[in-house]
Amino acid sequence: MIVSKRAAGIQESLTLAITAKAKKLNDEGVSVVSFGAGEPDCNTPDYIVDAAKRALDKGYTKYTPSSGIQGLRQAICDKLKRDNGLTYEPKQVIVSNGAKHSLYNAMLAIVNPGDQVILPAPYWLTYPELVMLCGGIPKYVKTKESDGFKMTAEQLKKAIGPKTKALILNSPSNPTGAVYSKNELCALAKVIEETGIYVIADEIYEKLIYKGSHYSIAQYSQKLYDQTILVNGMSKSYSMTGWRVGYLAAPANVAKAIDGVQSHTTSNPNSIAQYAALAALKEEAEEKAFVGKMAAVFDTRRKYMIARLKKMKAVSYYEPDGAFYVMVKVKKIFGKSAGGKLMMSAQNVAEQLLDVAHVAAVPGEAFGAPEYLRLSYCMSDKDIAEGLDRIEAFLKETK
């Protein structure tokens, strides 16, 4: 059977390739330390799990409205008001199977074949694939580490052409951990207003900020609000990656179009997970306690990672202000060898790091950052220390 051009065009994920190799080594009895994870390493908190159990006991096991139960959509509106100062009505909110699904829905709703979508690089690796699945064309804008990996208003202005439909903005960012300040976002917003393009604002790491604070670009003005599809979800803030609940908030006509798409593709997200998400957002005291504690743990690990990386002269790093990743620049070791193999790219470095030191990291080629490795700190302090010891030894042995 011949697969469609659309399906054949999907890039094999470099992340999955490294993860598969790491798993194979583990299965062979080798202890691999993985810096590859993209999810919190703690359990979903009890107050959320208990709400799911209650929903099961009450028999909430049937179809719900395809865009989510009214209570959850209202709770999301309340959250957007409380945290972001944004006013939405439930009919503007669509709950989906994870933020990834929300992003896909958002693009399906606004991207026509041939439209360009601006992606500041480094970018989360799923964005280009989703753009292309919708027939769009990713337009990459390379950001500089010296600009904190943030796109400037000048860069944005220059990138916008007659075919530009939208910008995908991710703050805090995966993979860099960069957090745009309010001033930086306002400068971008001005260009967006002037040019009339749309913004898909992916705010999924909103609660994991260690320096600075979060600002939603839709807050800038009524015009910007009308040009924005805001995406967020439960995965990272509440350690709920497996539950698959994400959402978007958009102008009512866009939400209506997305409701139509979702009703014919997936229907509603899992009913029990929706009740869990409702508790996650509504039980504010529990929420604050959990998120505060988790963010503090990540911040301690972040500081430890930075302190250790600072001592490794063969590499440099970008100090992240949010999310749970550190970008480590490995360009200086291109042209050197480890385990008898020459390393000419981040992918080669990741392969040798895994083969020789049994450490898994994601090569930056996956994110449009070919001189870097992405290290996540979603693992125990002990594993982080062990992994960094191994990286240090590996770097000493490269020649």
Positions in the binding site for ligand PLP (CB under 6 A): 38, 98-100, 124, 170, 174, 202, 204, 233, 235, 241, 246
Shorter beta-carbon distance to ligand PLP: residue 34 or 170: 170
Cβ within 8 Å of residue 29, ≥6 positions away = none
Minimum CB separation of residue 88 from ligand PLP in Å reads 19
Calculated CA dihedral for residues 316, 321, 324, 325, nearest 10 degrees:
-20
Minimum CB separation of residue 38 from ligand PLP in Å reads 4
Shorter beta-carbon distance to ligand PLP: residue 66 or 237: 237
Shorter beta-carbon distance to ligand PLP: residue 36 or 387: 36
The alpha-helical segments, DSSP class H, found in 85-122 are: 99-110
Cβ atoms of 100 and 232 closer than 8 Å? no
Minimum CB separation of residue 323 from ligand PLP in Å reads 8
Minimum CB separation of residue 98 from ligand PLP in Å reads 3
Strands in the chain per DSSP E: 33-34, 93-96, 116-121, 137-142, 164-170, 198-202, 228-233, 246-249, 316-318, 325-329, 336-338, 341-343, 359-360, 362-363, 372-376
Q: What angle do CA 192, 87, 261 make, to 5 degrees?
A: 75
Q: In angstroms, rounded to a whole number, what is the distance separating the alpha carbons of residues 22 and 99? A: 27
Q: In angstroms, rounded to a whole number, what is the distance separating the alpha carbons of residues 277 and 233? A: 9
Nearest-CB residue to ligand PLP? 98
Minimum CB separation of residue 228 from ligand PLP in Å reads 16
Shorter beta-carbon distance to ligand PLP: residue 203 or 259: 203
Minimum CB separation of residue 399 from ligand PLP in Å reads 36
Minimum CB separation of residue 100 from ligand PLP in Å reads 3
Q: Which residue has the tokens 């159990």?
A: 53
Of 191, 170, 183, nearest to 122 by C-alpha is 170
Shorter beta-carbon distance to ligand PLP: residue 170 or 216: 170
Shorter beta-carbon distance to ligand PLP: residue 66 or 170: 170
Q: Measuring CA to CA, how many Å separate 265 from each of 103, 238, 244, 273?
A: 14, 26, 16, 18
Q: In angstroms, rounded to a whole number, what is the distance separating the alpha carbons of residues 316 and 310? A: 7
Minimum CB separation of residue 249 from ligand PLP in Å reads 15
Shorter beta-carbon distance to ligand PLP: residue 171 or 348: 171
Shorter beta-carbon distance to ligand PLP: residue 227 or 235: 235
| Cis status of the peptide bond prior to 122, with omega within 30 of 0 | yes
